[in-house]
């Protein structure tokens, strides 16, 4: 796995510059942390490059890094079926936690169609806005739900349309 991540980082540095991605090896799996502004281009490159061919996006998840950190992390799990590779990409997004100023990253639904529903789920439950998404709206909660329940600072509502929740 380490060898793959170093090779991919080298490819990305040659295409986009040394600052395009950094290796994060502190977690259970090594990951590449990618700049948000380059995300879509990096994903297209990784999907189409002959040495990587990451043709499958298996999951997108969002992580609330906590109120003191002031960031969210969007995690992309990629797979290359022909090469039997797996790669984790991360994008770290700053946020001030205001509900009228959602953290934002580019949508990759134009790269992998499966991103459509994964991005909608991250939007619905964590409040990540995916720029360029073709139909970004709630997928699990009602359209008029207030807040994002997977955020660490979310407070459960007591009532919804006159119905007690707790």
Report the CATH number at residue 131: 3.30.460.80
Query: DSSP readout, 1-51?
Result: -HHHHHHHHHHHHHHH-GGGEEEE-SSSS-EEEE-GGGHHHHHHHHHH-TT
Query: DSSP readout, 49-83?
Result: -TTT---EEEEEEEEE--TTTTEEEEEEEEEETTT
Q: Indicate the number of domains in the chain.
A: 1
| Residue range(s) defining the domain that contains residue 80 | 2-164
What's the pLDDT at 77?
98
Question: Closest by alpha carbon to 118, among 43, 61, 39, 80?
Answer: 61
What's the pLDDT at 166?
72
What's the pLDDT at 1?
57
Which residues of the chain have a pLDDT value below 50? none
pTM over 0.85: yes
């Amino acid at each position: 796995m380490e060898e793959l991540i170093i090779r991919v980082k080298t490819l990305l540095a040659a295409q986009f510059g040394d600052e395009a991605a950094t290796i994060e090896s502190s977690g259970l799996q090594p990951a590449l942390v990618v700049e948000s502004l380059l995300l879509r281009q990096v994903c297209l490159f990784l999907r189409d490059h002959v040495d990587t061919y990451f043709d499958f996006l298996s999951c997108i998840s969002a992580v609330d890094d906590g109120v003191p950190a002031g960031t969210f992390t969007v995690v992309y799990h990629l797979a290359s079926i022909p090469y039997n590779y797996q790669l984790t990409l991360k994008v770290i997004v700053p946020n001030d936690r205001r509900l009228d100023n959602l953290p934002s990253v580019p949508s990759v639904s134009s790269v992998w169609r499966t991103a459509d529903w994964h991005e909608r789920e991250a939007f619905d439950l964590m409040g990540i806005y995916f720029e360029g998404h073709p139909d970004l709206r709630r997928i699990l909660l009602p359209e008029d739900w207030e807040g994002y329940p997977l955020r660490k600072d979310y407070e459960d509502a007591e009532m919804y349309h006159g119905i007690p929740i707790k």
